[in-house]
Amino acid sequence: MLEVSQAALTNVKEYLRQQKIDSPIRVTMISGGCAGSSLSLALDEATDQDHVFSHGGIGFVVDKSLLASCGRIKVDFIEKKEGGCGCGGSGGFSVTSEKPLSSGACGCSCDSGSCA
């Protein structure tokens, strides 16, 4: 299951509109970073290996095996982060899951790129 907060949906829609992009949003796992492996967002098309979700007219894709290993995934947008994973105070997208990733806990992902 994929849950997308209203704040995240609003910010994704605004980004896609400003950049004139018509692409699904992929939830992906990236290795490394300040907390080990974490979940992040990227622009990408769906494949046969994906589960496709629609939230507010925006397509979100998640690899079926990633979804099985992470369980429920939540995408949120945090206006400001206080401490935490080193993202600074600028805020950004937070992608978390109910189950930890194999190499550590699913963590936050910041749009600034400072924390994966």
**Residue-number span of the structural domain to which 58 is assigned:** 2-97
In a domain, residue 34? The reply is yes
In the block, residue with structure tokens 């994929």: 2
Work out the number of other CB atoms within 10 angstroms of the CB of residue 113: 10
In a domain, residue 108? The reply is no
The mean per-residue pLDDT over the stretch 84-91 comes to 58
In a domain, residue 114? The reply is no
H-helix or E-strand spanning residue 53: strand 50-55
Q: Which residues pair with 52 in a beta bridge?
A: 61
Res 83 pLDDT > 90? no
Number of domains in the chain: 1
- The pTM of this model reads 0.77
In a domain, residue 24? The reply is yes
The mean per-residue pLDDT over the stretch 71-81 comes to 88
Strand pairing category for 25-30 and 58-63 = parallel
What pLDDT, on a 0 to 100 scale, did the predictor assign at position 105?
41
Choose among 84, 82, 80, 83: nearest CA to 107. 84
Q: Which residues pair with 34 in a beta bridge?
A: 36
C-alpha span between 107 and 116 (Å, rounded): 8
In a domain, residue 107? The reply is no
Q: Which residues pair with 95 in a beta bridge?
A: 75
What CATH code is carried by the domain that includes residue 67? 2.60.300.12
Res 82 pLDDT > 90? no
What pLDDT, on a 0 to 100 scale, did the predictor assign at position 26?
98
C-alpha span between 89 and 103 (Å, rounded): 27
In a domain, residue 59? The reply is yes
What pLDDT, on a 0 to 100 scale, did the predictor assign at position 51?
97
Q: Which residues pair with 3 in a beta bridge?
A: 74
